[in-house]
Amino acid sequence: MINVIGLGYIGLPTALMMASHGIEVVGTDYNKELVDTLNAGHTTFQEDGLDELFIDAVRSGITFTTEYQRTDMYIISVPTPYDKFSKKVDACYVIAAIRQVMKVCLKGAIVVIESTVSPGTMDNSVRPVVEEYGYKIGVDLHLVHAPERIIPGNMVYELLHNNRTIGADLKEIGEKVKEYYASFCQGEIVVTDIRSAEMSKVVENTFRAVNIAFANELARICRHDNMDVYEIIRICNMHPRVNILQPGPGVGGHCISVDPWFLVGDYPRLAKVIDESMKTNDSQPEFVLNRIHEIMQENGIEDNRKVGLYGLTYKENVDDYRESPTLQMLELQERHLARPLKCYDPFLENHKIAENQYNDFDKFVTDLDMIVIMVKHDHIKQNWDKLRGKVVLDCFNICPFKNAYHI
């Protein structure tokens, strides 16, 4: 039996996927309300295919509880926040979970850490805690790191098809863990050492963050001299060895906007390009806010109560708003004592997370003269007609109106 610890955006889909493929699974989370919701037959967030997967897992016998189980296999998938000042990862939730596991686990248990951690976290933070309890690593308990690589909005598909990395001290332990993941994973599963597994996940997200920063910086350069950044990117991408990403209003989520800072925090004198790239991405919401002000002046809009932000989530077609660029922009306004802009998100109509948030799209549009597309939900693509006659700032170059503004 596998005890999956942490039933959030990563832990829950992983637990459901394993259970639906014939593995006995008990899901554990300290949040009683969350556990009660799952036991009542409801998922806790919106995700394509998740409800169907949940039904399959329940039929296969998965159970949910707040208690840690006595078994020989654990998967820990808890948050790993980072300190915004030191830029270092805080492994407190991982360590807390490890401590609880050691109170109940069988001798020789395997503990798989799926949570994203900075390189060296297992050696510097996790191993000392295990040894503090008198456990001999490799005998009494085996540590494994298997970072997740899935993205909200496509989780179920990516759980099935993405490649995976498993880091273990002993190859035979890594191969044993691989068998569990191979029960559902159709991608390649690589077994390596723990340090390489830690580094690979952070490097993947850092690579993407740096490339996004290049696109965002290019947008600023083109805006400065009134050039069409989208046309320039389109032409450049015709080259067989060039693949420039599209600029946007910022970077959100709990991976690309966070993980690269781990390297900056751990290697401040070496991670120069990464540091500057993250600063570019982090300042992109401010760049968009300045662009809003320019467009308001150009169109004679003097009252910011007539300006609204469409989209509060960090990416399209999900209800996950962690580190969302829109929330970053609203926080920036608050720091400058400005009245927060009105906002709306179709995925958060029943979940208020911001001041001046609407739960009705039609009323949101009616009350405004200018709308800023901060998230490219499919919903907005199906409702362009309702925006006719409005000033539109399109942060993604998706609006069909010829007079739409761009970043």
370-373, strands of its sheet edge to edge: 357-358, 342-344, 307-310, 370-373, 391-394, 405-406
Environment class of 273 (CB within 10 Å of its CB; exposed 0-12, middle 13-18, buried 19+): exposed
Question: What confidence score (pLDDT) does residue 176 get?
Answer: 97
Q: Does 185 participate in catalysis according to the annotation?
A: no
Task: Give per-residue pLDDT as tens, 31-83.
Answer: 999 999 999 999 999 899 999 999 999 999 999 999 999 999 999 999 888 77
Distance CA 384, CA 339 (A): 27
pTM confidence score = 0.90
Is the pLDDT reported for residue 378 higher than 80?
yes
Question: What confidence score (pLDDT) does residue 339 get?
Answer: 87
Reference 38, options 63, 19, 2, 4; nearest CA is 63
Active-site pick, 105, 185, 222, 255: 255
Residue ranges of the chain that CATH labels 3.40.50.720 = 2-192, 229-406
Q: Does 201 participate in catalysis according to the annotation?
A: yes
Question: What confidence score (pLDDT) does residue 329 get?
Answer: 96
The fourth-level CATH superfamily of domain 229-406 is NAD(P)-binding Rossmann-like Domain (3.40.50.720)
Task: Give per-residue pLDDT as tens, 72-125.
Answer: 999 999 988 877 777 777 899 999 999 999 999 999 999 999 998 888 999 999
DSSP-derived secondary structure letter, 82: B
With cut-offs at 50, 70 and 90, classify the pLDDT of residue 239.
Answer: very high
Is the pLDDT reported for residue 163 higher than 80?
yes
How high is the mean pLDDT of the chain? 95
DSSP-derived secondary structure letter, 126: I
Share of the chain above pLDDT 90, in %: 89
Phi, psi of 24 (to 5 degrees): -70, 125
Query: Domain 2-192, what architecture?
Result: 3-Layer(aba) Sandwich (3.40)
Question: What confidence score (pLDDT) does residue 74 get?
Answer: 98
Task: Give per-residue pLDDT as tens, 286-335.
Answer: 999 999 999 999 999 999 999 999 999 999 999 999 999 999 999 999 98
Distance CA 291, CA 389 (A): 20
Active-site pick, 87, 178, 201, 376: 201
Distance CA 108, CA 69 (A): 15
